[in-house]
A and B are shown apart, each in its own frame.
Chain A
Amino acid sequence: MTINSFRIIASAMVVAGFASHATAQNMSEINIVLPEQPANLEPCGTIITNVGQILSRNVVEPLTVIDPKSGQATPGLATEWTQTDPNTWQLKLRDGVKFQDGAAFNAEAVKFSIERMTGGKVNCSNIAKFGAAKLTVEAVDDLTVEIKSDTPQPILPTLLSVVMVVSPNTPADKAVNDPVGTGPFKLANFTPQTVVLEGFDGYWGKKPDITKATYVWRPESSIRAAMVETGEADLTPSIAIQDATNPETDFAYLNSETTALRIDAGFAPLDDVRIRKALNLAIDWEGLAQLFGDDTKRASQMVVVGINGHDDKLAPWTFDAEQARALIAEAKAAGVPVETEIELIGRNGIYPNGTEAMEAMMAMWQDVGLNVKLTMLDVNDWLRYLQKPFPEGRGPNLLQMMHDNNKGDAAFTIPIFYTSEGSYSTISDPALDKEIAEAMAATGEDRTNGFKAIFNKVHDELALDIPMFHMIGYTRVGTRLDWKPDITTNSEIPLANIGLKS
C-alpha cells in the first residue's frame, strides 16, 4: 500500500467517522447526560437526584408543586386543599387526567399511591419527608380525597410535593422499574446505558416542545461538558466549576445546598458559646470563598432564600481574628480548657475543594490559638458522626456537612439540627425545643416568623454551627435549547419547561 493510498483511506475513515457518530436527530428530540446512572426508576424514590431528574414531573407527577421562587405549594394533580382540622386535609383533584396505561386518575388512585408509599412493602425514600407521621387516606368522592395524620401537619400541601401518583395497576408490594404516571412523557426504554422518554399523547396539560428525551450518564464532569460542546448531548447538570468555561452555554444557579460545620456543643471547650463564636469569627470568609467560585453566597443559616423561614436580614459572621482571640482569652480566663484538641472531621469528596476548605479553616483556627486537627473520612465513617447514635468515646469535634433543603419549608431543616431529639443535633435545650415545636405547629406568618426567630437565636445567641456558603451549581445547556436551571434542578428537570430555539 502506498503512502498516498493510505492517506486516502485514513481521510475517508475520518470523514465517515464524523458523519456516522454525529447521528442525525429530530429537532424536537434531546439528549441529556446525567452524572450518575439511576439505580432504578421507582417513583417512590424521586427525592434521589438521578431518579427525580428523570421521572419527576416527566413520567410521574406530584399532588402539589413547590414554586421555586416563593417556596409555596402550588397546584399539581391536586388543584385545591383545605385544612379541616389540625390533623386533616381535604384535597380536590384535577379533572380529566388519565394515566399513561389508560387508567383513570381519581381519588382511589391517590389513595393507592399514598398507601403504596406508606405501606412498608417498597423501599421508599420519599416517605422520609413525612418523618414518623402515620397517614390514612379516604376517597370522599371521585375527585376529593381526605388525608388524616396522627400528628398535626400544617405543611401537608408542601409535603405532598413528594407524593408521586402512580397508576393503580402498579404492584403495591414491590418496587418497579417501569413507572406509569400521568406526566407528559412515558417511559419507552430503560437499559444500563440509557433511559428513553417519549411524549404521552393523552397528557392533560399543554403539549411540550420536546417529543423525546434520551438520558445517558457519565461521571466525569469534563466528559459531560465536552458532550454538550460537541453536540452529542443538549444538556448536563452539575458540571464542575473548572468545566464551566463558556458563558454562552454554562449557567450558574443557586442550588438548595448549604455547606456548614456542625459544632458538637456537648464537649469542652465547644460547650462554651465564646469558643463557638470565635470559631465563626476566625475564618477569612472572603479568602475561603475563592475555593468555591465568584457566584457562591455567604450563608448565615442552613436554608437558602426562597425557603419559608429564611431570614434575609440575618447577616453572616464576618472575619475578625482579633475578636476571636479576645473571646478565646476571655474563655480561658474563665477556666475553659481552650487548649483541648478539637477534631475537625471532613468527608472526602463531599463537594469540590472540600478538603482544601477544611485544611484552610484548620490553619485559620490554629492561627487564633485553637488546637484543631483535621481528620478526613470516607462517607461510611463520616455518617457515624452525622447521625445519632454518635460514636462512643468521641471528643470535641466539628463536622463538615452539606444540607439540601429544596422543599420550601424550614421544617425540613430546623428539627433535625436543633431539637434535642434531632438526628443531627448535638444539643439539648428545652427552651429551644419549645420554640421549635411552636413554630412547627404554626401556619402562615407565625410559622415564618417562628422559624426566623430560631435561625436568629441559633446564630447570634447560641452559635450552634458554622454556616459557610449557599452553593452554586453549574449546568451546561446546548445552544438549541431555551431553558435555564433553578433551585429545583438538582431534584427535577421538567422537560415540558424546556423550549426549543427556532
Chain B
Amino acid sequence: MMLGYIGRRAYHSIISLVGLLTLVFFLTRLTGDPSALYLPLDSSLEAREAFARLNGLDQPIYVQFLQYLQNLLSLDFGQSLRQNRSAIDVALEAFPATLKLAFVAMALATTLAITVGALAAARPRSIFDRVAGLVSLAGASTPDFWIAIVGILVLAVGLGVLPTSGTGTGWHWIMPIAVLMLRPFGLLVQVVRGTMISALASPYIKTAHAKGMKRHKIIFGHALRNSLLPVITVAGDLATGLINGAVVVETIFGWPGIGKLMIDSIIQRDFAVVQSTILVTAIAIFIVNIAIDLLYVMLDPRIRY
C-alpha cells in the first residue's frame, strides 16, 4: 500500500521535474547572451562568435533544447561555463554542505521549539510564556543578515571566541546554525504554542487530569502528540526552504552551499549549473515531502494512503 503510494508520487514527481526543467531551460535563455558576461567588455565580435560556437550557443534555441534532452537521457547534464567541469558535479559537490547545515539547524530548531512551545502553552500568560513569545517573535522577524553580521562583530571580532566564517572546525558551525535556526525556531514556537493550547482544552485532556495522570505526561505524552501534525507541516515547509539554500548565511559565512551557487549561476548565466542545481534541489524536496507524508501516518494512525 505504502510502496504503491511512493511509486505514484515518484511518477508524478518525474512529470513535474520534466516540466520544471523545460521551464528553467527556456527561462534561463531569456536572461541573455552569456558571452556578454564571460568575455571582457572590449572583446571583438569574432571572439564573441567563437565563444558562442564553442559552447553551442550559436544554434537555434529548439536545437539547443533537443540536444539538452538527448544529453539528459544519457545523464549528461552539461558543462559549467564558469568552472570548466561537469555541471552536475558542481551541484552535487555543493549540496551536502547545504543539507548538513539545514538538517542540523532544523533538528535543533524543531526540538527546541517543541519544548519551549509546549511549556509556554502549559502555563499561558506566565512569565515563561511571555518571554518565550517575545523571543520567538523577535527570532521570526529579525533579519538574518543583521544577526549574522552583529554576531561576527561581537563574537569573532569583539570577544574573539568564534571564527568569523568558514567551515574548518566544529566552531565554524555555531554561528551559521544559530542564525539559520532562529527564524524556524520563532515560527515553530508560535505554532506549537497555539496547537498545544487547543489540545490542552480538549475533553480527553480533562479526562486524563481527572484520572490523576501526572502533568508532564499529559503535556508531552498526550497533548503534544496530537498537536504535532500542523507543526510537521510548517517544519516541512521551512525545511524545504532551507534545502533550497540559505543564501544569506552561505554568503556571509562563506559556506559553500547550493543556494549561493544557484544565485551566482543565474547572475552569471551558467545555464547548465542553474539546471543542475534546480534538478538536485527539486529531487531533495520531493524526498522531504514523501518523508513528511510518512511521518503523518506514524503520528496519526487514522491517515491512510
Contact = CB atoms under 8 A, between A and B. Distances in A.
Interface of A: 14, 17-18, 20-23, 37, 39-40, 42, 47, 120-121, 123, 125, 127-129, 131-132, 174-177, 192-193, 216-220, 222-223, 226-227, 229-230, 232, 379-380, 383, 386-387, 412, 416, 423-424
Interface in B11-55: 31-32, 36-44, 46-47, 50-51, 53-55
B254 A216 contact: yes
Contact of A219 (B43, B169, B170, B251): B251
A23 B149 contact: no
Nearest to B267: A379
B162 interface: yes
B44 A223 contact: no
B174 to A, nearest CB: 8
A47 B40 contact: yes
B54 A226 contact: no
Classify the secondary structure of A's interface with B. Answer: loop
A396 to B, nearest CB: 23
Interface string B159-178: 01111111111111000000
Given A223-B254, A387-B41, 19 more contacts: A17-B162, A20-B169, A20-B171, A21-B168, A40-B84, A121-B54, A123-B38, A123-B55, A127-B47, A128-B39, A128-B42, A128-B44, A132-B46, A217-B254, A222-B153, A226-B157, A230-B164, A380-B32, A380-B37
Contact of A120 (B40, B50, B162, B164): B50
The 3 nearest A-B residue pairs measured at CB: A39-B82, A175-B84, A21-B163
Given A123-B81, A128-B47, A177-B83, A192 B161 contact: no
A229 B157 contact: yes
B83 A18 contact: no
Contacts of B39: 125, 128
Contacts of A379: 37
A220 B162 contact: no
Interface in B50-66: 50-51, 53-55
Nearest to B90: A192
B161 A18 contact: yes
B41 A386 contact: yes
B87 to A, nearest CB: 13
Given A120-B54, A125-B40, A220 B168 contact: no
A174 B80 CA distance: 13
B277 to A, nearest CB: 13
Given A18-B160, A217-B254, A223 B84 contact: no
B36 A223 contact: no
Contact of B84 (A42, A129, A220, A227): A42
Contacts of A229: 157
B252 interface: yes
Contacts, number: 116
B194 interface: no
Nearest to A404: B41
A229 B51 CA distance: 42
A42 B47 CA distance: 17
A216 B256 CA distance: 11
B85 interface: yes
Of A193, A220, A222, A232, the most chain B CB neighbours within 10 A belong to A220
A39 to B, nearest CB: 4
Contact of A230 (B43, B156, B254): B156
B145 to A, nearest CB: 9
A14 B162 CA distance: 8
Given A177-B85, A226-B156, A386-B41, A218 B254 contact: yes
A232 to B, nearest CB: 6
Contact of A132 (B36, B44, B149, B153): B44
A227 B81 CA distance: 31
A164 to B, nearest CB: 15
B93 interface: yes
Contacts of B42: 128, 412, 416, 423
A17 B161 contact: yes
B94 interface: yes
B152 interface: yes
5 contacts: A39-B83, A47-B40, A223-B149, A223-B254, A380-B32
A192 B82 CA distance: 13
A192 B94 contact: yes
A217 B234 CA distance: 34
A121 B84 CA distance: 12
A23 B168 contact: yes
Nearest to A121: B54
Contacts of A128: 39-40, 42-44, 47
A121 B152 CA distance: 45
Contacts of A40: 82-84
A216 B51 CA distance: 29
A123 B53 CA distance: 11
Interface string B139-165: 000000000010011001100111111
A220 B40 CA distance: 24
A132 B45 CA distance: 9
Contacts of B32: 380, 383
Given A123-B51, A192-B93, A193-B254, A226 B44 contact: no
Contacts of A23: 168
Contact of B171 (A17, A193, A216): A17
Given A20-B171, A42-B84, A127-B47, A226 B31 contact: no
A175 B82 CA distance: 10
A14 B82 CA distance: 41
Contacts of A129: 40
A161 to B, nearest CB: 15
A272 B36 CA distance: 32
Nearest to A222: B149
A177 to B, nearest CB: 6
Interface string B212-244: 000000000000000000000000000000000
Contacts of A424: 41
A230 B160 contact: yes
B47 A223 contact: no
A380 B164 contact: no
A455 B44 CA distance: 23
A249 to B, nearest CB: 13
Nearest to A36: B264
Nearest to A218: B254
A198 B157 CA distance: 29
A227 B54 contact: no
B167 A220 contact: no
A226 B55 CA distance: 40
